[in-house]
């Protein structure tokens, strides 16, 4: 994160922290402690970079919230307070389906998540967030969301929205 902030001019720094295996690890972590379930490495990276990001006016968007985006947002606020930094933190939730598992016929899974899109991120950024953390969103959403907020795109600006989408790997 620090290298990216010092390597050139940025408006947004985005990160994808949630591989499928990571989701399993986070589910086990949350099962042991309900306050966990997010990517702790994000906090470590942010501790080294938050001041620089704020100084440069770079907004950060990451899906590091995993199974507990509200918990990560709280941890980010605590980190910023400890560092003496004033930061607006927002989170996107709604992807966690564990509470609806029986209704959906899923049995009793350790985790069940839906992929959300970019519009929650857009709303957070348009509301003044410096940092947005999400749970499970599509890979493209951490890129499309900041672009849509920055350029004022609507949900029906299909050609524009297709532009910032990352290639499939």
Boundaries of every domain in the chain: 2-162
Residue-level pLDDT at 114: 86
Mean pLDDT of the chain: 92
Residue that has been written with the tokens 């350029």 in this structure = 151
Tokens of 43: 């906090």
**C-alpha to C-alpha distance for 131 and 128, rounded to whole angstroms:** 9
Own/partner pairs for 75-78, CB < 8 Å, 24+ apart? 75/38, 75/43, 76/43, 76/46, 76/131, 76/133
Residue 111 pLDDT exceeds 90: no
Confidence category of residue 55, pLDDT binned at 50, 70, 90 = very high
> What is the spatial order of strands in the sheet that 89-92 belongs to?
12-15, 59-62, 131-134, 89-92
Provide the whole-model pTM: 0.91
């Amino acid at each position: 994160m620090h290298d990216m902030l010092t390597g050139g001019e940025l408006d947004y720094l985005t990160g994808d922290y949630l591989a499928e295996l990571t989701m399993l690890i986070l589910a086990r972590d949350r099962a042991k402690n309900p306050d966990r379930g997010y990517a702790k490495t994000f906090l470590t990276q942010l501790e080294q970079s938050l001041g620089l990001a704020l100084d440069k006016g770079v907004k950060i968007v990451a899906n590091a919230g995993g199974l507990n985006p509200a918990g990560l947002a709280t941890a980010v606020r605590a980190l910023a307070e400890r560092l003496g930094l004033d930061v607006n933190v927002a989170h996107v939730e709604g992807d966690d389906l564990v509470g609806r598992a029986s209704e959906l016929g899923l049995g009793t899974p350790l985790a069940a998540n839906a992929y959300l899109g970019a519009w929650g991120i857009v709303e957070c950024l348009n509301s003044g967030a410096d940092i947005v953390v999400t749970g499970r969103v599509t890979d493209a959403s951490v890129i499309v969301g900041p672009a849509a907020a920055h350029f004022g795109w609507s949900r029906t600006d299909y050609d524009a929205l297709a532009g910032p989408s990352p290639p499939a790997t």
